Amino acid sequence: MNIVLGMMLLALLIPIYEAWQDDDIWQKLLAFASIATKTSIMILVVAVLRDDWMIGVVGVIILSVGNAALMLLAQLIKRMNDAATNYE
Amino acid sequence: MNDLYLYGITALLPLTACILVFQVNPYHALVIRGIFGAIAALVYAVLGAADVSLTEALVGTMLAITLYAVAVRSSLVMRLGVLKDDVAFSSSSSSETMAESQAVHPDSPTTFRRLLAELNNQLSQHYLRLELVPYPDQDALRQALMTKEIHATCVGCDRSEAKISERKELAEVTQDSQVDEAYYHTETRIQPLYEMMQVEGLSSVSRVTYVSVSEQEEVH
């Protein structure tokens, strides 16, 4: 359990580093998408290993609904970028 | 100790919080806030609080980010009042309308576009957005500036003959090519905006002045 989750933790650090270092907002958004999916998968793994269905259901809901916020944010940022490039 | 991974996962929360705190750009901070919410939901779920985790993911991440995005988008904006004709020039991207507008005003579209590009460049350094608000004539423009509907106005100097002669006089006195090129006149009622435009120089395309609007309307 420790080894599996430790490796997932290391994998989670990669997009966090990317979100921290990269100045391009789209790269940050990609890192956000990666992290949102990875964390919900980790919740599911923990739920299965502990045989705890309550956490499992929460993991499924976060995994399926979590991307909606991402879509809204991406839409707003895209519009902002369009407005900025109009004048160039 | 069987639950070593708990320490690792919990350590992610202060890590992302620090990254979030040190963001300068509001839009970047918004994205990092989403990452922070995802990590927080993970920590809560792993520590056994499934209900808190679900609330954090749905309300703390989804709703909060959407509301923040709307707030940042509507507050970090500079509203620039322009005349309707100028907007027609600037938005004419097709060659047909460009030719048409150039027939009326030989150098207006390019200068206005250059002015907007320059202004947008300066504003984006301060994470501001430029929004053009068209008005039918100069009186409406002036009125809007006084009633604080807009932050600044931008008009072409050739609209009235008086301003042209004033510009020529200025050019003669100073013998400066920059003044001669100054085709537009930008007025703002916000001191920081004026300083921003003054220091970093829009002077090649526009003359920038500051007007103080009386605060009496604010007192109730």
Distance CA B204, CA B159 (A): 19
- Asked if the Cβ–Cβ distance from B42 to A6 is below 8 Å, we say no
Question: Number of structural domains, chain A?
Answer: 1
- pLDDT tens digits for B105-118? 445 567 777 777 77
User: Residues B25-54: what's their mean pLDDT?
Assistant: 91
Out of A29, A46, A87, whose CB is closest to B130? A87
- Asked if the Cβ–Cβ distance from B12 to A68 is below 8 Å, we say no
- Give the residues across from B83 on adjacent strands: B135
Residues B120 and B49 in one domain: no
> A26 CB contacts (<8 Å, ≥6 apart)?
A77
- Asked if the Cβ–Cβ distance from A88 to B117 is below 8 Å, we say yes
The neighbour count for residue B190, using CB atoms within 10 Å, is 15
ipTM of the complex in this document: 0.90
Domain boundary among B74, B101, B128: B74
| pLDDT the model gives residue B186 | 79
Residues B158 and B115 in one domain: yes
Q: Which residue is associated with the tokens 């090129």?
A: B181
- pLDDT tens digits for B158-191? 544 445 555 555 555 444 444 445 567 778 888 7
User: Residues B46-55: what's their mean pLDDT?
Assistant: 92
Residues B158 and B205 in one domain: yes
Out of A12, A61, A76, whose CB is closest to B54? A61
A-B contacts at Cβ under 8 angstroms: 133
Residues B13 and B49 in one domain: yes
Residues B164 and B189 in one domain: yes
- Give the residues across from A44 on adjacent strands: none
Domain boundary among B27, B47, B74: B74
A88 touching B (Cβ < 8 Å) = yes
Residues B68 and B122 in one domain: no
Q: Which residue is associated with the tokens 């809901």?
A: A61
pLDDT band at B27 (very low <50, low <70, confident <90, very high): confident
Strand (E) or helix (H) holding B124: helix B108-125
Out of A23, A59, A73, whose CB is closest to B30? A73
| pLDDT the model gives residue A54 | 92
Which of chain B's residues have a Cβ under 8 Å away from the Cβ of A5?
A: 5, 8-9
User: Residues B45-73: what's their mean pLDDT?
Assistant: 88
Domain with A27 in it: 2-85
User: Residues A37-47: what's their mean pLDDT?
Assistant: 93
User: Residues B134-156: what's their mean pLDDT?
Assistant: 82
Question: Number of structural domains, chain B?
Answer: 2
Give all strands (DSSP E) within B105-173, no chain letters. Answer: 129-135, 152-156
State whether residue A30 is helix, strand or coil. Answer: helix
Domain with B102 in it: 77-218
Query: What would the two tokens of residue B129 be?
Result: 């957005």
Searching chain A, which residue's CA lies closest to the CA of residue B15? Answer: A16
Q: How far is CA B116 from CA A58, B78, B208, in A?
A: 49, 12, 14
Highest mean pLDDT among A76-85, B83-92, B132-141: B132-141
